[in-house]
Amino acid sequence: MGGAARPCRAAALRDGRGGGLGRRPAAGPCPSGGHAPRRARRGRPGPGPRARGVHADTGRRCITMSGSPQRYVEGDHLRITEADGTPHLWVVRKRVVRGWRLEPVGGGDTRTVTDRDITRMRQQIEHYPQGRAGLTADQEELLNRTFESNKAESCIEAMRRAEYLWHAYRLHKEGIPLNAAFERAASEIFAEKGPTWQKEDDEAAAVRETARAERRRVPPELLKSPNKPRKPLAAPKPSTIESWYHPWMAVSRDIRILVPLIEKRGNRTSRFKDERAFIPERMKIYIETMFLNDRRASLNEVHKLLNKELKSKGLKVSYKCFQAYLLKNYSEHEEVKRRFNWRKAHLETGVFKRKRPPAKPLEEIEVDHSLLDIIVVNEKSGRPLGRPWITLALDRCTRMVLGVHVSFEPPSFASLQRCLAHAFWPKDLTGLGLSNPWPAEGIPRLVFCDNGKEFHSRSLKLAELSMGFTVVNLPPRQPWLKGKVERIFGRIGIQVFDLMEGKTFSNPAKRGEYKSVASAKLTLPEVKEKLLKYFVDDYHVTFHDGLKGTPLEEWQRHAEVDRVEGVRSYEDIRRLMGATFLKPITNVGIKIFGLVYYHDDLKELRRRRGGTTKRFQVRADPFDLGEVEVLDEETGRWIVVPCDRPELAAGVSLHQARTNDKRARRLAEGGPVTDLHRAEGQRLEAEEAAVALDDTEAKTTAARAARYGLDNGCFFTPLVGQPTPANDPAPVPVGGEAEGHEGGNDRAGNPEPAGGGADPDVQAAMLAMMAQWTRRSA
């Protein structure tokens, strides 16, 4: 075989030039310029796709990579970076057909990579040819992790070693023999860098000593003087530099090979040959059975119990050793999970990806309930009523408040229905004394909420299907998933009620001795007025850092470009957002909480095949049971069915109907419940609620009476085109037969089929509203 003369391999090794090179680029001369490729063998023209040569510095053969099969040697190391960015170190074991068999460092399943894979992954492969004596397991471990993952002290030492080696390497490139280069590097680099390194070590030692004193609470008089001179640094011997040089060259001058394995020094095996050998096992048992459980005993007490057991054998474990065993063998996540719960560990040690906000308004909204941090009083008597509930819908894109409902109705479909209806329909702010508009309205695409019963109700599911939105129930006990609406609840407590009398603060610890109930002065209408003023004239027009503008500006900017889908009419909201029931048609009509609903059209539904046993879909306004609607599945129309006793149902909410029904059953004492019982039960409940609300001497709250006796169905603001009041007061019978009562409101008696036409005022309002909606759509 012809070719240029090569230096003697043995001579190169004797001179200490036996290093290797790492990853090779495409075919061509060695990147260091130390050698030229050999001529092709067996008549191949040119250097060919794979060329061999001799490196002038190390005397090692250098293989350049190309598109042809790479010729590795058994014992070579390959560092392969996988698609997910994870590096793995492999050892070449043998050549197979058109590929190589690799074994992971440290043991494990082998892997076969084809020549085509090697060519395709050449950007992800680093090749470390086997050195004179190969790589030790510790050196392989160093190459399998990043340089920055080592301790800071080890990284500093590695960089200092690299200073010596690079100086020796440059001297050798100038023609100086390696032995002389090592001697000059030791003296010259230490003379230049030594004083600076000594100063750095002294400062680091002083910091460590101070931290040790704080950790162990060492008295100042026992603290070592930070200015006390430390052991002076000394220049490394040339032989030491040589011991660093060869592995460094073998891995292409990779600084990771220079990291000192301080944690590997000394005897790392257990030296206990007597009864002390079981101490680690006993420490594990005590930690897992007494410390890592929900009793959450202190580590100090567990340590005392362990030493009490070991004392009988003449043994003892220091607290520092016991604590070190815990920190070494149990992660912080595992400790918190076993002492508390998975959720707490997940929150304290987890990493969470931020969610990108939606690009359009009404793409995603958040809905939630919260108690207001304020005690309200009755308008007439001043009786403290308690903390009202607020249900709020917030747009994620613009941070605009879409809808609000404030009342003493606890979280239920009734309060949710009022909030969503307020969000879907335009608000009428005429005469409310506000300086800014509230243009937020429309049907959202996704409604994010928690797992309350009202968010899983049949009524809400049917409203989804009817109006075209989707409810997304978030996992329980994870309020940060709807953090925007949670954050605004916190802002309300601070920015609206912080200076008000009767505030309850965010928790009892902050409230202290403050008498919230005795200090309360605001009424429910006043609270609503302050909230309305805050939303429209403060929150909506305040600069938001995340939006780089105000919520109102963002909504108006998007409204000019993105089409907002509205609702056709107010009646659609009232009907489609009604509470839904499945009820059979009995021989007297439909019964809901003892109230009977009758219409002649029910006869036709009941006469059909299976009509006597079938349960029909019924829906009603949760704050007015004066009439209900029954679905005729064959024709697809809703039949309006009034209550046959309007004085018992007009303006009555679902909560009032349940309460009245329970009272009537108690009055019947197990017998049949008649209309007289129901009228009497309704009268008694109304009187008791009125007495509780008017009690001026009471020192406690009356939230239960407020839920029954107040107008909890009133919308937060009037709605455009709203034909009737949101909730009329329920009439109270004065005695006699229920059917003889002439009271009630007009809306309850209106739907009777035998009656006249529609109310002209209502019809005119509906026509005006439809004309306005038509102009807005155009």
CA atoms of 482 and 395, how far apart (whole Å): 11
- The residue-averaged pLDDT of 488-498 equals 93
Q: What is the pLDDT of residues 570-606, one digit of tens each?
A: 777 777 778 999 999 999 999 999 999 999 999 999 9
Give CA angle at 608 (603, 611), nearest 5°: 80
Looking at the DSSP assignment, which residues form a beta bridge with residue 632? 637
Q: Does any domain span residue 270?
A: no
Residue with tokens 């709203």: 722
Same domain, 13 and 144: yes
What pLDDT does 83 receive? 83
What DSSP designation does 18 have?
Answer: -
| Boundary of a domain, candidates 243, 264, 285 | 264
Looking at the DSSP assignment, which residues form a beta bridge with residue 364? 446
Same domain, 588 and 683: yes
Task: Indicate whether 772 pLDDT > 70.
Answer: no
Q: Does any domain span residue 343?
A: yes
Same domain, 610 and 716: yes
- The domain containing residue 235 runs over which residues? 151-264
User: Domain containing 447 — which CATH number?
Assistant: 3.30.420.10
Q: Does any domain span residue 649?
A: yes
Counts of helices then strands in the chain (DSSP H, E): 26, 20
Scanning 433-507, the segments in alpha helix (DSSP H) are 458-467, 483-495
Same domain, 373 and 407: yes
Same domain, 592 and 487: no
Q: What is the pLDDT of residues 432-474, one digit of tens each?
A: 999 999 999 999 999 999 988 889 888 888 888 888 899 999 9
What DSSP designation does 568 have?
Answer: S
pLDDT tier for residue 222 given thresholds of 50, 70 and 90 = low
C-alpha neighbours within 13 Å on the C-beta side of residue 116: 2
- The residue-averaged pLDDT of 321-347 equals 94
Enumerate residues 6+ apart whose C-beta is below 8 A from 566. 424, 426, 441, 442, 443, 773, 776, 777
Cβ 336 vs Cβ 326: under 8 Å: no
Look at 176-180, 249-253, 362-366 and tell me which has the smallest mean pLDDT: 249-253
Same domain, 83 and 45: yes
Beta pairing, strands 77-81 & 470-473:
unpaired
The token pair at 229 is: 């001179």
Same domain, 324 and 374: no
- The residue-averaged pLDDT of 338-356 equals 90
| Boundary of a domain, candidates 349, 375, 397 | 349
Q: Does any domain span residue 307?
A: yes
What pLDDT does 15 receive? 42
Mean pLDDT of the chain: 82
Same domain, 284 and 302: yes
Enumerate residues 6+ apart whose C-beta is below 8 A from 605. 585, 611, 616, 630, 632, 639
Q: Does any domain span residue 326?
A: yes
Into how many domains does the chain fold?
A: 5
Q: Does any domain span residue 686?
A: yes
The token pair at 481 is: 């998933």
Scanning 125-177, the segments in alpha helix (DSSP H) are 137-143, 152-173
Length of the chain: 778
Give CA angle at 747 (746, 751), nearest 5°: 110
Q: What is the pLDDT of residues 125-163, one digit of tens each?
A: 888 776 544 677 788 888 888 899 999 999 999 999 999
**What are the phi and psi torsion angles at 241 (to 5°)?**
-65, -35
Q: Does any domain span residue 269?
A: no
Same domain, 625 and 745: yes
| Boundary of a domain, candidates 121, 148, 175 | 148
pLDDT above 70 coverage of the chain, percent: 80
Rounded-to-5 percentages of helix, strand, coil across the chain: 40, 15, 45
Same domain, 371 and 493: yes
| pTM across the whole model | 0.65
Please return the burial class of 530, using the count of CB atoms within 10 Å of its CB with bins 0-12, 13-18 and 19+. Answer: middle
Q: Does any domain span residue 355?
A: no
Same domain, 605 and 687: yes
Other Cβ atoms closer than 10 A to 552: 21
Same domain, 422 and 436: yes
